[in-house]
């Protein structure tokens, strides 16, 4: 009897399985791009790493075809990729247009515009310098964002909870907050002992303002009925802050962290162009100085992926932290 039921379950699973049509279309388009990149001759000069580009995109096509056609774990992976199906179709088309106007027809002048092969060359040959710059930028960003987030969170809670503290800090927030952090570069380099410390302060300042304002807004907007109920049950001042005000303000806090993280990246590039000897900002300036525009585009792509990855991580932390509010808060 158990064997018979397992056979029925397997038969039902096979009957319900259907190929992922968008994945098959994406595999076909990726294969077409690989053929276009390998068979259509380059104009002007033959670019290196074209074979690697063809092999990589062909591998993507094969992987997508297998994911779209096979059941089991491949089907679960297809379900995970399904929301990005249209982008998987559009991406090779965009790459084909990029390749056509640069390497194939040479409509855009070299070296200002480089084909995809040039970025592959940068990642394979200049990865030590680029990797070191990425690590320096991540460490600098982590210190600045952490310092700015903690100080902004503390300041926002204090301003929102205490009218006396808000009386003194609110005017400073209004005056200092709207000033771009990069405008304070000369002053920071005078007062701080090193360019690294000045850069950390500027990134922390760019993060501090949105976190402070949104945390303050979250604490102020907490329904007073929550405090009244807690006081009726004998809650202390500390309990009201830690167990009522801060949890209720957390959605605003995460919005402030999101805004602060975006602002910190713009400050990071400028700060690393002023006196530091490593980092993505320094790498961009070095690439521009040597007219190595392919290196510049490669660094910009790395920076975009770093920013997107950190924002995704922040959203995951938010979803886990605020899981108890899913039924009450529209995300």
pLDDT for residue 151: 94
* Alpha-carbon distance values, 113 to 6, 35, 94, 203 (Å): 59, 22, 15, 31
Least reliable range by pLDDT among 21-30, 219-228, 248-257: 219-228
Phi/psi zone of residue 279: left (φ > 0), alpha (ψ -120 to 50 degrees), beta?
Answer: left
Measured CA to CA, the distance from residue 153 to residue 212 in angstroms comes to: 6
Of the candidates 208, 220, 219, the residue with the CA atom closest to the CA atom of residue 242: 219
Residue 93 has pLDDT above 90, yes or no: yes
Using a pLDDT cut of 70, give the percent of the chain over it. 92
Measured CA to CA, the distance from residue 61 to residue 302 in angstroms comes to: 24
Residue 1 has pLDDT above 50, yes or no: no
Per residue in 254-313, pLDDT (tens digit) is 999 999 998 888 888 888 877 677 888 889 888 988 888 999 999 999 999 999 999 999
pLDDT for residue 31: 96
Q: How confident is the model at residue 5 (pLDDT cuts 50, 70, 90)?
A: very low
Measured CA to CA, the distance from residue 150 to residue 168 in angstroms comes to: 20
pLDDT for residue 326: 63
Q: How confident is the model at residue 319 (pLDDT cuts 50, 70, 90)?
A: confident
Tell me the mean pLDDT in the region 244-258. 90
Question: What is the pTM assigned to this prediction?
Answer: 0.82
pLDDT for residue 12: 47
Residue 73 has pLDDT above 90, yes or no: no
Both structure tokens of 9: 């379950």
The alpha helices in the chain, defined as continuous H runs, are: 2-16, 21-39, 50-69, 73-81, 85-99, 116-125, 127-161, 163-176, 185-191, 195-220, 224-232, 237-239, 246-272, 280-289, 293-321
pLDDT for residue 245: 87
88, 81 in Cβ contact below 8 A? yes
pLDDT for residue 183: 78
Residue 8 has pLDDT above 60, yes or no: no
Measured CA to CA, the distance from residue 263 to residue 253 in angstroms comes to: 15
Domains and CATH numbers, the chain: 2-110 (no CATH), 127-325 (1.10.3720.10)
pLDDT for residue 199: 86
């Amino acid at each position: 009897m158990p064997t018979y039921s397992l056979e029925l379950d397997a038969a039902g699973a096979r009957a319900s399985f259907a190929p992922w049509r968008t994945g098959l279309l994406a595999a076909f388009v990726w294969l077409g791009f690989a053929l276009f990149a390998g068979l259509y001759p380059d104009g002007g000069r033959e670019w290196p790493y074209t074979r690697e580009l063809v092999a990589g995109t062909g591998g993507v096509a094969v992987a997508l075809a297998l994911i779209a056609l096979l059941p089991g774990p491949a089907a679960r992976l297809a379900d995970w990729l399904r929301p990005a199906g249209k982008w998987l179709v559009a991406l090779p088309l965009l790459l084909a247009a990029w390749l056509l106007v640069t390497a194939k027809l040479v409509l855009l002048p070299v070296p200002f515009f480089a084909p995809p092969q040039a970025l592959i060359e940068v990642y394979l040959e200049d990865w030590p310098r680029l990797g070191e710059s990425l690590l320096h930028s991540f460490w600098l960003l982590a210190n600045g964002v952490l310092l700015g987030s903690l100080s902004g969170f503390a300041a926002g809670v204090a301003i929102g909870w205490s009218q006396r503290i808000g009386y003194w800090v609110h005017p400073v927030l209004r005056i200092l907050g709207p000033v771009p952090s990069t405008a304070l570069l000369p002053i920071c380099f005078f007062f701080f002992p090193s360019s690294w410390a000045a850069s950390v302060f500027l990134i922390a300042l760019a993060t501090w303002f949105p976190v402070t304002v949104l945390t303050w807004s979250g604490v102020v907007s907490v329904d007073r009925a929550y405090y009244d109920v807690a006081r009726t049950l004998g809650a202390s001042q500390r309990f009201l802050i830690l167990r009522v005000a801060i949890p209720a303000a957390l959605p605003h806090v995460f919005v402030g962290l999101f805004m602060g993280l975006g602002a910190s990246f713009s400050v990071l590039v400028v700060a690393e162009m002023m006196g530091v000897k490593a980092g993505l900002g320094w790498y961009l300036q070095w690439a521009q100085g040597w007219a190595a525009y392919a290196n510049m585009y490669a660094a910009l792509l790395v920076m975009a992926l770093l920013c997107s990855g950190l924002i995704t991580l922040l959203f995951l932390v938010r979803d886990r932290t605020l899981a108890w509010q899913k039924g009450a808060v529209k995300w």
